Structure 1
Amino acid sequence: MKITDIELHAVGVPRHTGFVNKHVIVRIHSDEGTVGIGEMSDFSHLPRYSIDLNDLGKGLKSVLVGKDPFNLMKINQDLLDNFPEAMYYYEKGSFIRNGIDNALHDLCAKYLNVSVSDLLGGRVRDKLKVCYPIFRHRFMEEVEENMDVVRKRYEQGFDVFRLYAGKNLDADEAFLAKVKEEFGSRVKIKSYDFSHLLNWKDALRAVKRLSRYDLGLEMIESPAPRNDFEGLYQIRLKTDYPISEHVWSFKQQHEMIKKDAVDIFNISPIFIGGLTSAKKAAYAAEVVNKECVLGTTQELSIGTAAMAHLGCSLTNIHYTSDPTGPELYTGDVVKNKIIYKDGYLHAPDKSIKGLGVEIDDVLLEKYRVPDLSWGEVTVHQLQDRTSDSKE
């Protein structure tokens, strides 16, 4: 089997907050007639530059057309040569590699008449416990807005939440107090995610302040600036909670291992460049006896399906994971949206081959956008995914 063509389709899908995220839907065609689909998720994030989709398509065709899609390792190396790691976890090159690698896995699995999880080594589970994100408080009036999110999502079956913290600690504290008063032990806050906004000393002070409202806290996420391995190590020594950090390059993961800087590696295909690389990162964590959590940039159903296959095939995930993207958007581009039930992400039925989701061309046209350009947005909007900066 040989790759014959690549299609890239830019879409803009609104979140419930009103913020429109742009993604690229990938189709890879083969001379056998089998087509693989993938997703380059969430180009609407920092760093603030966009990709020329026409130029990207031509470049990818020059790399991929004529290749055997089963040569996953060689193709991933070629992609890495063309779109290299940059030690930044929202690096656009990782998004590009991820979408292509997803589609290659879908293509190969469909050709073999198996699911992607079979291609990854088989499942050890069929569902993953996940949390719903509570986005960062910048103003006190957002506390009640986020309480409404908890109430609504709790009714839908989500009982674990992740708090993006550290921008307004008074509001964070008020929110946690209200959650504890209203829900008690029925709701769990699995992590405080500081998203590299604080240095480790400020993050430690924030943890001490917020931990009095401990609602089943599982971990502290990203409590130091990006690539501050010493800071991660210092805060890990000084708190009883496990420290988690995203993996966005193998060099960065190596430095975290060498420094013994984290307890839990946050692994997501979008940040490390695809299922092939994410599996390698998870295996590296297992070798050094570290746990993993499945992270997210909040993908649509295609990207989330790939993550579900990965997460259900890994043996070192024992914490609540993060992928709830399809629940954050008002729409999607597939016929069979990924399923959440009782706070779990369910992997697609193994009887549906490949990733287990199918593009709906009507929806693809509905959400199609001409390019990945930015428009007028602020840094706060890009960080917090709101339609209004309130400033």
Structure 2
Amino acid sequence: MTPSQHLLTKLGLTDPTPLHHNPLHPDTPPSNSRRSFFKNASLGGLALGGAFMFSPVEDLVAQSTQRVNRASAPSELKITDMRYCVTTVLGRTAMIRIDTNQGIYGLGEVRDGADERYALFLKSRLLGENPCNVEMLFKKIKQFGGPARQAGGVCAVEMALWDLCGKAYNVPAWQLLGGRYRDKVRLYADTPEASSPEEQKRLINYRLKEQGYTWLKMDISINELKDKPGTLVNADKWRNAQGNLAQWGDMNNSMSYANTLHPFTQIQITDKGLAELAAIVDNVRSMVGYETPISSDHYGHFDLNNGIRLGRALEKYRLAWLEDVVSWELTDQWKTLSDALETPCLTGEDIFLLKGFKALIDKRAVDIVHPDLASSGGLLETKRIGDYAEENGIAMAMHQAGTPISFMASVHCAAATQNFLALEHHSIDLPWWEDLVKTTDGRKLITKGFANLPLTAPGLGIELNDEVVKQHLHASDKSYFAPTPEWNAIRSHDRIYS
């Protein structure tokens, strides 16, 4: 080995990394000239001085680094565009792409059921900015977020910025959050339902043994009692045309069951109704066993008193948690509920920012916080929520219902947060869901009930599988990352103080 080759080995330049594919400029060749290299490569002056002592070194360096990605100079990175597409995941879920002047881009997701315009509205506030200034840009746009889907645009942008920043610096997003506590992320999955106990048993066994999930969640809805006389009080008033207590019913009717807050329906569950709901849980627990945690959700809209009665009726089944028994903002009611029950109580999927969680945490009103990264503020804000909960002895699980973009953003956040328990995976039975993306490290998204954390892949570690995404565009909008110049101009004065 020549002295020049020894030097290259020390500099780590003998095994160049592949150039990342650039879908925005696929025909642009990498710059391999020696002049380009010595202009952009970040080698110290002393090392370069030593390199020039050997006559062939410039040629060797240029040759050895011809495939190294030098597309990004982070300090000079600027946002040039935001584009979107709308998928059929969970009915309607939009993806966004933030483009830059250096060809790299970041992916984000507007929470399921939210309008892509929540994100597009922010484009004019981002153009010309350096996407690596993630916190500054987040503080600039967070005033346009709110609870639940209202935060969809802000969170989508935040995800895309971390994806961009990771790609610019060639590190995974979790590294930018301070490092990782785990290499894989535990997932929780829906408990399969079926028309017969035998079929349900078969499906549960498949979920646990073949798919490898180690944590389940089940619905315990009062709608299961709709055809059982003597189980509910004051329920008939709230039934829809199909006779259901539809928790996601007519959202345009302000007086519908779906739009009436829990304390105001005055639906009550009788002792007979409680016994029927307990029997549903007993059946699932007998199939699953006690080694696997079972969480519960989607009970319906009824008041705190009935929530306590239901919780006590289910205590003996040692459920992992009771989720969203009352609305998240009713802090004092959550405190009363948690104090009354031994089963852990949990809420948070619709809360925006750490500020929204603080009252619940400070008052020990919940046992576990449950942010959805697509509503809570994105990766960094969700980690801050987890860290604050940890300081107060409270664990964090994570809600997730969307495309692989928000899923992987959540995986990075979960890996970087110590008090994390489990992340929801809501699309297990959607056969094409994982195919919407390709991992840049070549590994599967999920293996036996655990998400694989990208250990070296930059950003979120995924790229879109364009052909698959195009097959699942929503009928209302078949465009695919088309230009959006109509969102370029700022039309308001945004400052929120005088």
2:122 corresponds to: 60
In structure 2, the partner of 1:46 is: none
Give deviations 1:83-114, integer Å, cap 9, x for gaps.
232xx4x3x23121121111110000001000
SS of the residue aligned with 2:370?
strand
Offset of residue 39 of structure 1: 1.7
Partner deviation per Cα, 1:227-283 (whole Å, 9 max, x = no partner): 111111111111122221116134431221343211211122112121122122222
Instruction: Within 5 Å, give how 1:1-391 maps onto structure 2.
Output: 1-13=77-89, 20-43=90-113, 51=115, 53=116, 59-81=121-143, 83-85=144-146, 88=147, 90=148, 92-134=149-191, 147=201, 149-154=203-208, 155-167=210-222, 168=224, 172-185=277-290, 188-194=292-298, 197-214=301-318, 217-246=319-348, 248-249=351-352, 250-296=354-400, 298-317=401-420, 319=421, 321-332=422-433, 333-336=436-439, 339-347=445-453, 349-371=454-476
3-state secondary structure, aligned to 2:85: strand
How far the C-alpha of 1:367 sits from its partner, in A, is 1.1
Amino acid at match of 1:173: A
Give the AA of the match of 1:213. Answer: Y
1:117-163 per-residue CA deviation (whole Å, 9 max, x = no partner) reads: 1111111101122221238x8xx958777555423312311232112
Deviations 1:312-338 (A, max 9, x none): 111122x3x132134242323212485
Unaligned runs of 5+ in 1: 14-19, 44-49, 374-391
| Identity across matched positions, percent | 23
Paired residue secondary structure (1:224): coil
* Preserved CA contact (<8 Å) 2:190 2:426: no
How many Å separate the matches in 1 of 2:156 and 2:198? Answer: 37
* Structure 2 CA distance for aligned equivalents of residues 124 and 340 of structure 1: 18
Three-state SS of the structure 2 residue aligned to 1:131 is: strand
Assess if the C-alpha contact under 8 Å between 2:119 and 2:156 holds in 1. no
Q: 1:36 & 1:225 partners in 2: Cα distance?
A: 34
Cα distance change on mapping 1:130 and 1:63 into 2, 3 Å = same
* Conserved? CA contact 2:86–2:473, under 8 Å: yes
Select between 164-173 and 264-273 the one with higher mean Cα deviation.
Answer: 164-173
3-state SS of paired residue (2:97): strand
> What is the TM-score with the length of structure 1 in the denominator?
0.79
Instruction: Tell me how large the CA RMSD over aligned residues is.
Output: 2.7
Which position in structure 2 is the counterpart of 1:385?
none
Q: TM-score, normalised to structure 2's length? A: 0.63
Unaligned runs of 5+ in 2: 1-76, 225-273, 479-498
Q: Deviations over 1:181-215 (max 9, x none)?
A: 344345x243222467332221221122223333x
Identify the residue that residue 240 of structure 2 maps to in structure 1.
Answer: none
The aligned length equals 344
Change (3 A) 1:163 1:73: same
Q: Distance in 1 between matches of 2:457 and 2:364?
A: 41
Give, as a single letter, the amino acid of the residue that structure 1 aligns with 2:396.
C
